[in-house]
Structure 1
Amino acid sequence: MKFNNVFVVDDDKVHHFIIKKLLEKNNIQVNATFFENGDEALKDLKSKLLKGENPPDLILLDINMPVLDGWQFLEEFNLLKEDFPEEITICLVSSSEDYFNTDMIELFKNSIANYYVKPMTNDMVKSIFLE
């Protein structure tokens, strides 16, 4: 799958830095936009819808964030996703595997393509962007 526009939604600036470096290292050319919480990303998505701009084709979504966490983001996103012309792939990213062993995964299984435990590695980035 080839992604062009990527949203990284995570309150951890170190994670932002790691993703940027891994993309560079693997020569992966994407338009990446970074957000520190789900609310910021949701506002940007709604703005793109209103303006008719291209939404991201991939969202790397942290679960544990302030303001609007990953689960709350998914609830809101599911209300909007029918309005987007193309499907948006969502990969959950979390510092703890515990978040993936909950009923929430089952609840949002139709929205989540995959999930990864931080820190992101070279292999993870390759599996997302190059396979």
Structure 2
Amino acid sequence: MKTIKSLYIVDDDKIYHFLFKNLLKQNDINVETTFFCNGYDAIEFIRKNKDDVEMPDLILLDVNMPIMNGWQFLEEYEKMVKDFDKKPIIYMISSSNSEVDISKSKDFDGLVKDYYLKPICREDLEKMFVLEEV
């Protein structure tokens, strides 16, 4: 089993950031967490720090954000990921239960592992944070 030690949360909702931090704490999940409010900030951080900062184990990516949404993030990320030694697992996290969004996440097979609806619950965390080695 592989345990998640670091993660990026890419989501524009500051309340979700707060709630997610509390959910981690309530479930005794100690993980180094970096928050980004849109896909552009996350992509730029990755681009500028890819040689100096180790990629996280996990990225939780919102679909709908200003400046650069989750799909645009994935398009840019896909161009860069081949150069990474460590390839994070990405989960789409959204309040959208649109079949279009859920289906689109499957178009990024190999990048996006699964699609979860907000709010994230304990069972979702268990699925995300304890994974089999690949």
TM-score (norm 1): 0.91
Mapped to 1, the partners of 2:119 and 2:77 lie a distance apart of 25
Two-structure CA RMSD over aligned residues (Å): 1.4
Q: Is 116-125 or 74-83 further displaced after alignment?
A: 116-125
Number of the residue aligned with 2:26 = 25
Aligned length: 129
Cα deviation 1:41-92 (Å, max 9, x = unaligned): 11111122142x2111110000000000000000000000011101210000
Number of the residue aligned with 1:40 = 41
Q: Find the residue that maps to 1:97 and give its secondary structure.
A: coil
Between the aligned residues of both structures, percent identity stands at 37
Closer, same or farther: CA 67–28 of 1 in aligned 2, 3 Å:
same
Checking the alignment, whether the CA contact within 8 Å between 1:58 and 1:90 is kept in structure 2 is yes
Q: Which structure 1 residue ranges, 5 or more long, are not aligned? A: none
Q: Find the residue that maps to 2:64 and give its secondary structure.
A: coil
Closer, same or farther: CA 106–130 of 1 in aligned 2, 3 Å:
closer
Q: Find the residue that maps to 2:45 and give its secondary structure.
A: helix
TM-score (norm 2): 0.89
